[in-house]
Structure 1
């Protein structure tokens, strides 16, 4: 397989139904046959730190052991950052500090770990924020800086404001829905930049959000999230059915043109074109 570049965007707490009704730009890409849209069922517990680890390692919480937001330690699994680095690819992240604690340094020190530019670490180029209300607009600007100045082969982007407003106002609120609209607007600026630089793009979420303003349970509101894929290796359009969140990591490997870690689930995703160079 030919190596390609991938941007994985995880919009924290983005529900599937709200993404479908309030992400006009992303739906435009689907209708224009530039993107595929899937419905993903997250692993449980539907909590952030466990599902960051699930998305980035392709393993369920019972395997990776990060079963709570209170588990603060480096990952014991082989993540996408590790696999990319093993294959000679460069990595970067503009993300919440828990991602640093999983793959680079734990515990996180705000005064020392905000900017991490170290080719020896799994995340070679890391820009990490540590407040949930940190503006998504700033976060996407930092991700754009990483593209322009570091040209990583694999870039992870993780905005938090949808989750923050969901906790503040609940998912059944104008505040939450308007934040999803705002995120879609930021994606309309950021994704064309990614495509212009030759990146394949995946947009998904870790978990959803309930009308109680929380998540962690087993309902569709907790667990059902979108996945949009913009890639020549994936047929565009809306896909029926529900796929496992464990498919995100092997899909990233497929798009990067590298073999997934042995611990990752096999790629069983409808619409992936075989042997695409």
Structure 2
């Protein structure tokens, strides 16, 4: 397809909260310009294993990234690898675990926080390492990368929703309001991203429970949203995408060779 793609990974966002709290994204759905799907995240419902799953299409028990303390480079092929090898430009504004998975491990803030490295899978990066790093700053980091480098694939990965969930739990104003703030921040950028021709996917790694954590089988821990926006998407209400299909579907949008599963129904 040869499209440009932005993947927004709203860490820790439960599907039901996304469905009722993300008013700007839902306005696109109501206008027939976006679609919302429910995904069930792979197990375990933990962040680092699911970053790897989303970006490589490989479930945690196969990737070996089975908990958050597995700190090493991935042994799998990610969207970043495929894109860079195809001569496309990659960028990420993301938590430092993403840098550890695909660029260099362990993360060294002085070296890795601001990355300009054409020889690495993530060529341009701003990586943070505090869970309370403001989402407003993270989106500004991402937009700076987009404006400066016009990447073909850009990962945008804020953490404040997950941070609020761990501090306060699922059924709290703090958690729901953190989702609303993310939606307002997205409203600042979505129109210009779409206007620049990007295909945009907005999803989450896992959800959250009332115990202020996630790692089990409860629907509120495993059910996450997938919003898709852009001219290359079918908006087919019957599509049933899976988390392991996101990597391959993004590669299809980029028009680059890959060997990952895809959700064909998402695409025109």
TM-score (norm 1): 0.94
Which residues of 2 match residues 58-97 of structure 1 at below 5 A?
58-97=57-96
Over 3 Å counting, the alpha-carbon distance change for 1:4 and 1:242 in structure 2 is: closer
Which residues of 2 match residues 1-277 of structure 1 at below 5 A?
1=1, 3-236=2-235, 239-240=237-238, 243-260=241-258, 262=259, 264-265=260-261, 267-273=262-268
Over 3 Å counting, the alpha-carbon distance change for 1:242 and 1:170 in structure 2 is: farther
- 1:251 CA displacement: 1.2
Residue by residue, what CA displacement relative to the aligned partner does 1:148-174 show, whole Å, maximum 9, x if unpaired? 101111000100000000000001100
Residues 19 and 226 in structure 1, CA contact (< 8 A), matched pair in contact too:
yes
Which structure 1 segments of 5+ residues have no match?
none
TM-score (norm 2): 0.97
Q: Measure, in 2, the Cα distance between the counterparts of 1:117 and 1:194.
A: 22
Which structure 2 segments of 5+ residues have no match?
none
Q: Measure, in 2, the Cα distance between the counterparts of 1:271 and 1:70.
A: 34
Over 3 Å counting, the alpha-carbon distance change for 1:92 and 1:230 in structure 2 is: same
Q: Measure, in 2, the Cα distance between the counterparts of 1:271 and 1:44.
A: 23
Per the alignment, in what secondary structure is the counterpart of residue 248 of structure 2? Answer: helix
The count of residues paired between Structure 1 and Structure 2 equals 268
- 1:231 CA displacement: 2.1
Q: Please tell me the root mean square deviation across aligned C-alpha atoms, in Å.
A: 1.2
Q: Measure, in 2, the Cα distance between the counterparts of 1:233 and 1:99.
A: 27
Residue by residue, what CA displacement relative to the aligned partner does 1:39-79 show, whole Å, maximum 9, x if unpaired? 11100000000000000000111111100101000000000
